[in-house]
Structure formats: structure tokens, C-alpha cells
Amino acid sequence: MEHIAVIGAGTMGNGIAHTFAQSGFKVNLIDINQSALNKGLQTITTNLDRMVAKEKITSQKKEDTLKNISTYTHLDTGVKGVNLVVEAATEHLDLKLKIFKELDAFCETGVILATNTSSISITQIAAATSRPEIVIGMHFMNPVPIMKLVEIIRGYNTSDAVTQSIMTLSKQLGKVPVEVNDYPGFVANRILMPMINESIETLYNGVAGVEEIDTVMKLGMAHPMGPLQLADFIGLDVCLSILHVMYDGFKNPKYAPCPLLVNMVRAGKLGVKSGEGFYNYSESKKAEKIAAQFLK
């Protein structure tokens, strides 16, 4: 594999494009919105500049990485000639099914179709195509250029050959791939989201305050970031969406989202990206400081 298409120029999409491009792959970054593509490229450039400043890469490496990325606003042209597509669009089932149906029509035979979904069934997504044996999950962690883990999720029909190919590819990116099977939340979010949800319940029930809960988990459990702070970093809307997928998939009340989380999302308090969640990020670039703390 030498030529990759990445669908979606948001936080995860531009991070995935950055990672592939820095590893020497040609990347077609696709988004229906040109301004989103411009913003994604600016984020990649900023992150590369930070790496140059820290002497993790050279200026030449930065330039080579940016040259490896081309942008497209049309799916049919963006996926021409690629060996692998990684979808990183918004975490909504209907949108993903629509994208994969279109990918099935536009991509050449043999092109592997991957999704960066953090919780939606790979088997269900694959069913929208005529090639379910070459549909697979590649769940990267945020921030993608920094975090080593990639969950490799096999759908019910995903072939051994495709799974092994994506495991090998992930190692080429300097990542640590872990193979998991296709059940709601996979491994990462099946364990993480109930912890975050229980932390919100703890706050909701008045057991302790936001900073107190996070301090207990950071100092007592050696977590680099408290669960409420992490929820803000992920996005409270994303956390809510994942919990809904898990609750629908398992029909187990332990995955039911806390009413406080539901209300905060309804009120637009989504965390870092909205400027306010469990913490307020509107003053003194607090969000950047927290992100910098997490990325050390």
C-alpha cells in the first residue's frame, strides 16, 4: 500500500492523514467542505511546526509530509488509484452507511475499506457494500500523531488476509495495533465510557466536585488526565453518542448515559471544542494548556 484516501478533515481525519503522510504514504484528504480541508491542513502544519520546534522531525521532513497530502472535495475523484480508504467522518451510522455504499461503487476491486469508528458495528457498515470481507475497523486514538494504539476491529466477514495486512500497515506507521472483535464499544470505549459515565454520575449525585473527582483518578489511579477532563477533550457529544450505541447494542442499563451528560449536550456544553464542558476553556487559552499537558 502506497496511496491512501482519508475521508473527513476534522480532528481524527487530519490526524490520520498527517500520520500516513509523515510515514511516506501519498494521501488524498477528502471532505465535502473546502474550508474544512483548509482548516485540516492548517492543523497538520501547526502540529508539524511543533514537532520541528521540539526537534522530533526536520524542516525537510515537514515539507515532505505536506507534499504527500492532496485535497479533494469529491469522493469519486478522491478515491481514484488508492489502495486503502480510511473513513473518519462524523460518528453517525446513517452517514457512514451512505459513505460506504458510495465507496463500494467508486473504489476499484480489492481496495480495502476501513472505518475509524469508535463504537459502530463494522459488520453493519460492511453490509452496505458488496465486499464485506475487505471492510475493517481502524480505530485510531486522539491525538493520532502522538498516540500509539490502533484498535483493529474485524467484522463478521473480514478476512484473515485483510486483518493481517492492516496489522502490518499499522506497524509501518509506528503504531501498536491490537486485534479485537466486533462488539459495541470494542475494547477501548467498552471500558472507558462506563468509567466516564460513572464519573459524571458521581458529580450528578453530589458525591464530589469536578476537580475533586479528577484529582482522585489522577493521583489515586495514575491516570494522566481525569475522566471529566478527558470527556471534555473527547467531546461530550461524542461520549453521549458512543454510550447510545453501547446501550442500544447491549440493552444493559449500565450503559445508559447520565442525565447530566444528556442535558449538557443539549445545552451545547460539549467540552474543549465549544469552550465549555465540565471545565471552562474560554479564558487564557486554557484548552491549549490542557492539551499540551496531555501531549507531554
pLDDT tens for 219-234 read 999 999 999 999 999 9
Phi and psi at residue 95, in whole multiples of 5°?
-65, -45
Give, rounded to a whole angstrom, the gap between the first and last alpha carbons of the chain. Answer: 32
* 3-class state of residue 100 by DSSP: helix
User: What percent of the chain clears pLDDT 70, i.e. is strictly above it?
Assistant: 95
DSSP label of 164:
H
The pLDDT value given to residue 291: 52
Place of cell 473518519: 88
Nearest CA to 85 among 145, 47, 125?
125
Mean of pLDDT values over 170-175: 98
pLDDT band at 112 (very low <50, low <70, confident <90, very high): very high
Give residues with Cβ within 8 angstroms of 42, minimum separation 6.
none
Report helix angle 227-234 to 236-250, nearest 10. Answer: 100
The pLDDT value given to residue 285: 53
The pLDDT value given to residue 295: 46
**Do 140 and 170 meet the contact criterion of CB atoms below 8 Å apart?**
no
Mean of pLDDT values over 128-157: 97
Give residues with Cβ within 8 angstroms of 162, minimum separation 6.
112, 133, 134, 136
Which helix (DSSP H) or strand (DSSP E) does residue 151 occupy?
strand 149-154
Annotated binding residue at 96? yes
Annotated binding residue at 147? no
For the chain, domains (ranges, CATH) are 3-181 (3.40.50.720), 189-290 (1.10.1040.10)
Mean of pLDDT values over 104-116: 97
The pLDDT value given to residue 277: 97
Give strand ranges (E) for 172-289. 176-181
Annotated binding residue at 49? no
Report helix angle 11-22 to 34-53, nearest 10. Answer: 50
The pLDDT value given to residue 288: 55
pLDDT tens for 60-93 read 999 999 999 999 999 999 999 999 999 999 989 9
**How far is Cα 138 from Cα 141, in angstroms, rounded to an integer?**
10
Active site residues: 118, 139, 151, 189
**Do 13 and 31 meet the contact criterion of CB atoms below 8 Å apart?**
yes
Phi and psi at residue 176, in whole multiples of 5°?
-115, 100
Check whether 238 has a pLDDT greater than 90.
yes
Q: Which of 114-118, 198-202, 282-286 has the lowest mean pLDDT?
A: 282-286
Integer CA distances (angstroms), 17 to 7, 29, 69, 82, 175, in order: 9, 7, 7, 14, 14
Check whether 177 has a pLDDT greater than 70.
yes
Give residues with Cβ within 8 angstroms of 156, minimum separation 6.
123, 126, 132, 182
Annotated binding residue at 248? no
pLDDT tens for 260-295 read 999 999 999 999 999 999 999 986 455 555 555 544
* pTM of the complete model beyond 0.75: yes
**How far is Cα 11 from Cα 144, in angstroms, rounded to an integer?**
9
Annotated binding residue at 13? yes
Between the CA atoms of 275, 263, 232 and 7, what dihedral angle is there, to the nearest 10 degrees?
A: -90
The pLDDT value given to residue 222: 97
The pLDDT value given to residue 286: 53
Annotated binding residue at 104? no
**Do 194 and 254 meet the contact criterion of CB atoms below 8 Å apart?**
yes
Peptide bond into 143 cis (omega under 30): yes
